[in-house]
Amino acid sequence: MSFGSRLAAAVAARGPLCAGIDPHPGLLDAWGLPRDASGLERFALTCVEALAGRVALVKPQSAFFEAHGSRGVAVLERVVAESRAAGALVLLDVKRGDIGSTMAAYAEAYLADGAPLAADAVTLSPYLGFGSLDPALDLAERTGRGAFVLALTSNPEGASVQRAAAGGRSVAQAVVDAAAARNATAGGPGSVGLVIGATVGEHGLDLSALNGPILAPGIGAQGAGPAQLRAVFGANLPHVLPASSRDVLRHGPDVAALAAAAERVNAELSAAV
């Protein structure tokens, strides 16, 4: 099955929540864990235990693991493997974007069969040109994996590039259109998704031809909830995967409390989308 089809089945079974696994130093402190690789491991594997058997999609933020060097990357490998073993799809948040052989090497690292960090999907940045992502998108298609491409993000610095006009449309709309073209020949739900922040407000994007999922970060701690999702995505809500990390993770380190928080947020989002 394609990633798009597997994702649709997982969301139908488990709800739309994408649960972030973000071992932020502040969260390690809040959980009473040391800011080292041992604290990272306890945090991350607790998240896997609480979340991966309950939600459709988990999203480890690679940077927080990479900050601990080789030991952190080894923990990330376990998170990917154990989350998938528990039934969750894994979206590895790496936001890679490069050209030529370098992009191909990133693709092999995250999207090739047998790679230690091979996930079900990754996040990609298209701002060296959407075509620069072809090595990753081509490999993802061959291996039944997916990608979420940054289109319109909620950070204020992004607007100067993403909302700029280019050829009569915004840069973000050009990204949307390129993703839609990639999905146009899919036999079912497309496997090339977009990242559009849940807090971006009025955006003017035409998403009608996308035929793919939309990852919507910003739920909870960043201020977005069901009302913001409806305002931003409207008729496209059935394709939205609301992403929440700290709003759920603040309930740790108790596994039962983490699981209950995820189930509560998931139920609220299911009703909204």
Place of tokens 């994408």: 18
Distances (CA, A) of 148 to 39, 115, 138: 29, 19, 14
Residue pair 246/217 in contact by the 8 Å Cβ criterion: no
Residue 233 CB neighbour total at 10 angstroms: 22
CA angle 197, 74, 90 (to 5 degrees): 35
Secondary structure, 3-state, 118-170? CCCEEEECCCCCHHHHHHHHHHHHHHCCEEEEEEECCCHHHHHHHCCEECCEE
Residue 81 CB neighbour total at 10 angstroms: 15
* Residue 59 annotated among the catalytic residues of the structure: no
Of the candidates 95, 163, 246, 250, the residue annotated as catalytic is 95
DSSP element (H, E) containing 21: strand 18-21
The encoded tokens of residue 40 equal 């990272």
Rounded CA gap, 100 and 88, in Å? 31
- List active site positions: 95
